[in-house]
Structure 1
Amino acid sequence: MVEKFEELLEQAYLAPRGKVKIGLLEEAIRIADTHLDIDAQFDARMELVDTAIFSGHGEKAIVAFAWCLAQYDKNPNMYNDHQMMWNYKWVTDRLLEFPDIELQKVKATLEDLKKRFTQTGHGPHFYYYIKQALAMQLEKTDEVQHYYEKWIREPSDSLSDCRACTLANQTKTLLYLDKLEEALAVAEPILKRRLSCHSVPHRTYADLLLPLLKANRKEEADDYYQKCYQLIYNQTGFMDTVVHLLTYATITDIPKAISLLEKYLPEAIDSDESAVRYQFYTVATVLWDLLDEETKKTVKLPDTNNMTQINEELVRLANLFNKQNKTDVFTKKIDRIQTEIRHLHQIKN
């Protein structure tokens, strides 16, 4: 069984991130759990954490990492502190994607993360980032501003994101705070390609599309749209970026929007990250409403889903997020986003 286990890990190593790689790692975990030692079980799960995080299957990463963290707590000297904390931060970031995880549990996990960072000699730089990200999701603008300022003042350390990702995240927050010029200044090293990473500049291009369009800078926005799409065209796991592309195309170029819908709706449906589906369906349903009946007949949708079902799922997801956070923000957000898209589509065409 050792040979089979190692063969599966080798195949997984060579496979791109996605469902095939996840399947190989899950089979390796089953073999390790039945026939091999704790080290093999641990190593296979940590590989699954990385793969699942970056391919739209965060729930699998959360489950696998919880097992690894329990082993770490039993025998902390057997494992690498930095590796554990690095993966813990990614898993914590993904908790915001799942409405069935109670808000108090999310907040408790953030505090546990901060405590463990301190215990392992690290600062709260990433902790402040994730606090402002949570506030942004809940549309608590004052809290976003508060934690953003603490985040950018706090020195980075070995558990901080790379410089490219940090600037990309700062850009996103500044755009949320309606500070376009400041965001563009922060993003300059990314836009001039002096800094890059796995998802950068992709997501920065995407984040800038709507703010630039609203500022009557469509030529710049069009350029970033093309650059972004070229970067993600043959990849999976970029659904948050795709949502921005779909939004922009729905406003400015319906045929492009239809192509995006046809290409990415199956990936959205397949994602186990509820926030991804919520965001994509919010835009997909308003796009559908903008189409005439003859055009709708030409759109290639998955056999198992129609847009009525997608709309019903969107309402269900909004209600779940509302319940999780004891708010009606997520229902109101749908109305606000769809109203803005309709308005901009009308005035830009």
Structure 2
Amino acid sequence: MSHRELELWAALESAHAVEDNEIQQAQLEDVVSGAEAGGFARLAFVARRALANAYCVGRQWDRAFPLFARCLSEHDARRHELDPREEAELRSWYCWIIQSMAEFPAIGLPRINGALDDVELRFRAAGQNLREVYALRRSVAHIAGDWEQEQQYFRQWLAADGPDRMHLWDFALQVRRLTDRGDDAAAYELAAPVLAGARTFDEPPVPVQIDMLLPLARLGLHSESRRAFRLARRGITRDVYRYEYSGKLIEFCALTGNLDAGLETLSMMMWGFPTLNRPTGKMDFAVATAVLMRQMVDAARGDEPVGWAKQGEDEYVNAAQLLERTRGIALDLAAQFDARNGTTAQGDRVRARLAARPVARFQVSAASYRFTYDIPEGLSAEELLSRAERHLDRGQRTAAGDHLRALGQPPADLAARRAHLLALLNGGPDKGSALHEAAGQYQAEEDWVRMCLCLCDAAMWMADNGRLDDAVPVVTRMRDLLRKLPESNAIARAEFAFANVMTGLDSEAVDHALARAAEDAAESGEPYAVALVAGHQVHRAVKQQLPPEQVIALATTMRDAALDADWPAQAVHAFSYLETAHSAAGTTAAYRREIDERIAGFSSDTPHLVRAGFGYAQARVFIGDGREAEAVPALEELIAVERPSGVPAMHWHWLAQGYFAAGRLDDAVDAAEVKADILDELRERGSLETPSTADVNRKLLVECYLRLSDFQGALEQLEILSRNAHHRDDAQLQDYVRAQFDQIRRATAVAVRPPQPF
């Protein structure tokens, strides 16, 4: 073997370890080119097969066809050079290629059937069992909608040794044939041992779990359906599965009332949908998305933006628009298949799924909450813009952007406000110039109040970007100008901006500005302004180590105003300040009594955020007293109101602890996984109040997975903990990883590789 060939084999091995698909494709393409140029036939064959797989992972299935054709022609030209193993590999790849050909309606049945006959001849000539050929013919008949042939080839497959008992996909085929025919009871009878974990295969049973979701729901087995959903959702992230499987998760969520859980899965997959070049997968995923969007429309959420459904460079759609788009894609592809197949089978199947009605209503995951704001129909441009401004003030950037997209190009009298909001929303290096442009538009309209506030925003941006010498005179002039106008709310915001700019320059000036801002905010009666200013005052009071009684007074003002302003994040900060300050003042018992009394006095019309805020305060008491399970309802309610603006990582961790204490292990996994990576990042940056929290969260996941007998999930968490321990040279954490690994090895009684590195 030449030195060049050895280098290429090494490059091939190296490419297999690359995780980025595009980089892997490029490296494999180089290996293929080098092998072809050097005349290294066996290397070229292996590299082309690897490249074909990489193309398919990258949703470019059609690019595998010419690679295989080149290998087949070279094989036929040098058959005497191949050993039996290489010939067998080629025949198996041939079967896979034919299966893929059937998934492209542009490839006619005569060509597919000719290839089927050719590969069968090759199997027969090699004296090989025709089991794989019959499985392939059955699959092609299924796609073609020829049910008689499908049944015939299935029986021949069974007769030719049929399913391998340890091979997952053979079993999944049998389950899917039953679910496709609507025989839910028979499918459940077959799949029940697998769903219960009593029967295992060479791979995780994710396809079986997904195929059984709707049958379980239709049979009324909601607990089993929920469990299968959770296992499948976790499993599908651990390997590469076809788009159809994610589509089935989405469709199940749509037909069981779990719209936001469906949207979460959609958000993870939709980015690659426009470039998916496999028509069967595109058709089935489009159907599933349309089913979800239909349920969104029926739930009066048709106007809700689906921001991750990006179909063009800057194009976003709402649920109703995405319904029409994906419905059209599915029906068009079904029509193409039917035209090729000479049947109506695919069209009938697609239309039946599009018309499906909900089969049940139950919650699949305690960690799934609505995380978008709907946009009511009929809102004026002024109302849309005002709502966008309100959302951005409260840190709800996604909702603000959704409203701006719904607004589009506003009337001329609102153009400056839109430009101002876009500048704040988009940020980046051009934010300063964009704010000055918006201020110029305000000036042209003689809207002096908004012009001043826009330039105050520009001054804060300049201060944040090291341009204090420019920022101070701008914010000072704008504040002084606003003081001449009878707009106390605007004056309060300008004083707040002045205080922000002066931070780090003149502490006394900052405090005086905030005091003036607090007076103006109170005079305005605008709770948002009161909460905004009080929040900054509390922060400074804590930093300056003022008496806890002063902190309590300011934090109480901040809390009440934030609750009135419907500002969840600011309310939570206020409750946290209060908890700490009361502890320092020795008045914790009185504070807890106040919380309990307020909650006891809630009426049916108490605002939702008020309930959630005081519930959060009570939940913190439960957690501190080791009563984590009792904190769960309040934390669930809090997270539900926080979702649109972002849930702090610690809140998910506390909820996970509560679920774990309550014995709700699946719920604990759902919650602990949400921000596990974020907790690790916060620890690395030194931003966690208790650094060990990140490891505690992952240890909780390990324990849950062990109790659920999900050893793969436990090992994945141990791998991360092992890397973190190695990075920090944490001997205690390394000992924990070793002990847990040994426990898994004993439980599974198989040889598993220790997490690396120790």
TM-score range, shorter chain: 0.7 to 0.9
**C-alpha separation between the residues in 1 aligned to 2:277 and 2:219?**
35
Please state if 1:246 is matched with 2:250.
yes
**C-alpha separation between the residues in 2 aligned to 1:294 and 1:276?**
25
**C-alpha separation between the residues in 2 aligned to 1:294 and 1:179?**
33
Match of 1:91 among 81, 88, 97: 97
Q: Deviations over 1:315-345 (max 9, x none)?
A: 43223212221233333322111111xx126
- In the other structure, the counterpart of 1:216 is 220
Choose 19-28 or 200-209, whichever is displaced more.
19-28
Q: Is the 8 A contact 2:104 2:278 kept in 1?
A: yes
- In the other structure, the counterpart of 2:308 is 300
Q: Deviations over 1:195-223 (max 9, x none)?
A: 3345x411111111112222222221111
- In the other structure, the counterpart of 1:169 is 173
Distance 1:295 1:261, change over 3 A: farther
Q: Is the 8 A contact 2:166 2:201 kept in 1?
A: no
Please state if 1:258 is matched with 2:238.
no
**C-alpha separation between the residues in 2 aligned to 1:128 and 1:161?**
17
Corresponding residue SS for 2:358? helix
Please state if 1:344 is matched with 2:358.
yes
Q: Is the 8 A contact 1:18 1:55 kept in 2?
A: yes
Distance 1:339 1:310, change over 3 A: closer
Q: Is the 8 A contact 1:53 1:91 kept in 2?
A: no
Q: Is the 8 A contact 2:335 2:347 kept in 1?
A: yes
- In the other structure, the counterpart of 2:294 is 289
Q: Is the 8 A contact 2:247 2:285 kept in 1?
A: yes
Distance 1:84 1:125, change over 3 A: same
Corresponding residue SS for 2:212? helix
Counterpart of 2:221 in structure 1: which amino acid? R
Q: Deviations over 1:5-52 (max 9, x none)?
A: 445423311124844423321232233334553333223112223444
Distance 1:75 1:94, change over 3 A: same
Q: Deviations over 1:232-276 (max 9, x none)?
A: 125443312112111101112000111111111123322211110
Match of 1:60 among 54, 63, 66: 63
Identity of aligned residues (%): 17
Larger gyration radius, structure 1 or structure 2 = 2
**C-alpha separation between the residues in 2 aligned to 1:45 and 1:59?**
14
Counterpart of 2:161 in structure 1: which amino acid? P
Choose 246-255 or 47-56, whichever is displaced more.
47-56
Distance 1:47 1:107, change over 3 A: same
**C-alpha separation between the residues in 1 aligned to 2:174 and 2:238?**
27
Choose 72-81 or 315-324, whichever is displaced more.
315-324
Q: Is the 8 A contact 2:5 2:40 kept in 1?
A: no
Counterpart of 1:204 in structure 2: which amino acid? V
Q: Is the 8 A contact 1:141 1:177 kept in 2?
A: no
Q: CA RMSD in A?
A: 2.8
Counterpart of 1:103 in structure 2: which amino acid? L
Q: What is the TM-score of this pair, normalised by structure 2?
A: 0.42
**C-alpha separation between the residues in 1 aligned to 2:159 and 2:39?**
47
Counterpart of 1:324 in structure 2: which amino acid? R
Choose 93-102 or 291-300, whichever is displaced more.
291-300
Q: Deviations over 1:83-123 (max 9, x none)?
A: 11222222222222211111121222222221111111112
Match of 1:10 among 6, 13, 32: 13
- For 1:145-156, what aligned pairs fall within 5 Å after superposition? 145-156=151-162
Q: Is the 8 A contact 2:102 2:140 kept in 1?
A: yes
- In the other structure, the counterpart of 1:109 is 115
Q: Deviations over 1:43-90 (max 9, x none)?
A: 311222344456644322222112111111111122222111222222
Match of 1:40 among 25, 40, 43: 43
- Where in structure 2 are there 5+ consecutive unaligned residues? 363-758
Corresponding residue SS for 1:344? coil
**C-alpha separation between the residues in 2 aligned to 1:37 and 1:138?**
39
Q: Is the 8 A contact 1:55 1:237 kept in 2?
A: no
**C-alpha separation between the residues in 2 aligned to 1:328 and 1:3?**
53
- Where in structure 1 are there 5+ consecutive unaligned residues? none
- For 1:100-139, what aligned pairs fall within 5 Å after superposition? 100-139=106-145
- In the other structure, the counterpart of 1:204 is 208
Choose 242-251 or 21-30, whichever is displaced more.
21-30
Aligned residues: 343
Shift of 1:193: 5.8
Greater RCO between the two (CA within 8 Å, min separation 6)?
1
**C-alpha separation between the residues in 1 aligned to 2:112 and 2:37?**
32
Q: Is the 8 A contact 2:274 2:311 kept in 1?
A: no
**C-alpha separation between the residues in 1 aligned to 2:198 and 2:34?**
44
Shift of 1:294: 6.4
Distance 1:212 1:91, change over 3 A: same
Match of 1:319 among 332, 335, 358: 335
- In the other structure, the counterpart of 1:31 is 34
Q: What is the TM-score of this pair, normalised by structure 1?
A: 0.86
Please state if 1:271 is matched with 2:272.
no
Choose 22-31 or 105-114, whichever is displaced more.
22-31
- In the other structure, the counterpart of 1:225 is 229
**C-alpha separation between the residues in 1 aligned to 2:148 and 2:99?**
20
